[in-house]
Copies of this chain bind each other. A is one copy, B any other.
């Protein structure tokens, strides 16, 4: 039996839909990336999937991701060759070939990137990621939380500029340097962070992420087809909590330092009529307040979905007048561990309070 399987063409749309929800506002539904991988499929170039368990301990995995402000990913057509470039450069730099590829995050656009690499050069996509959602900064990856170095860290822009951050004091410095370079290069760069062994992936990645996003996307699309509630489908598929329903009444956003930051205000409808829900964001949604009280925080996922279609809305696409449901999905235990919270808890985002999960662990 083969240890890999081809990802079916029908699964691509499910993956994109699920990844949009798991993007928690950072990028939303990766429509342009979906068109792009579908084009590769039409050319006969398919992506294959491999379970992390099937990786040899010494096999080498490329960890890819786009770094930048979400708006730019909505304005530029993605280019698979651009995504592949830092992977090849990393191979040149280390003198070793990769056996597989995975994404830094399952949320939104970055879910599709490893499929592009797989379709172009034949190595399989590992069914895993390093965030279980989307986060705005590089040091928020599970590998960094577990103390693995992110360097060497390769950056390629859309022109002919490439660089390798060969060593940093810690993952925060990798992020700082990378972010500055990214901003100078147009707030969108393709990256390949430190090669990981199969053993490291098995021990420190978030496993099953691609399958999870495909399942979630299928649940949403099935609900749409059956004229059932896609909101309910997400809640059931991900054991989520419904937080609010309302109409977007105000959005303030500014793109600074390579991020989009701001806040959205949602006025309640139905049983929430008269209430207001406020959501802060830095690329992704970070904090939700209901009637002035903090109700949900990073690292739990905050998802704002179109009430009718279940389509994920993002920090760049949310706008006045949209009818939305606000959900929270539980984060991965790596993220809510004490090391995890130091990197991705509310204090890491500049808030003066601690994380309290909405979600009771069903362990």
- A residues near B (Cβ < 8 Å) are 89, 93, 159-169, 173, 176-177, 180-181, 183-185
Contacts and interface: CB of A to CB of B under 8 A. Distances in A.
B173 A180 contact: no
A165 B168 contact: no
Contacts of A184: 176-177, 180
A159 B89 CA distance: 25
7 contacts: A89-B166, A93-B93, A160-B167, A161-B168, A163-B165, A164-B166, A177-B184
A337 to B, nearest CB: 26
Main secondary structure on A side of the interface with B: mixed
B177 A167 contact: no
A163 B185 contact: no
Contacts of A169: 159-161
Contacts of A176: 184
A163 B177 contact: yes
A164 B163 contact: yes
Given A161-B173, A161-B177, 4 more contacts: A162-B166, A163-B163, A164-B164, A177-B181
Contact of A167 (B161, B166, B167, B173): B161
A85 to B, nearest CB: 10
A177 B163 CA distance: 9
Contact of A185 (B89, B167, B177, B183): B177
A171 B159 CA distance: 14
A168 B180 CA distance: 16
A169 B158 CA distance: 11
A303 B237 CA distance: 73
A77 B181 CA distance: 27
Contacts of A162: 165-168
A159 B173 contact: yes
A166 B165 CA distance: 10
Closest 3 CB pairs of A and B: A180-B184, A163-B165, A162-B167
Contacts of A177: 161, 163, 181, 184-185
A159 B173 CA distance: 10
B163 A166 contact: yes
A330 to B, nearest CB: 35
Contacts of A168: 160-162
A166 B159 CA distance: 13
A159 B172 CA distance: 13
Nearest to A159: B169
Contacts of A161: 165, 167-169, 173, 177
A185 B174 CA distance: 11
A309 to B, nearest CB: 41
Contacts of A165: 161-163
A102 to B, nearest CB: 23
A183 B184 CA distance: 12
Contacts of A159: 169, 173
Contact of A181 (B93, B164, B167, B181): B181
Nearest to A164: B164
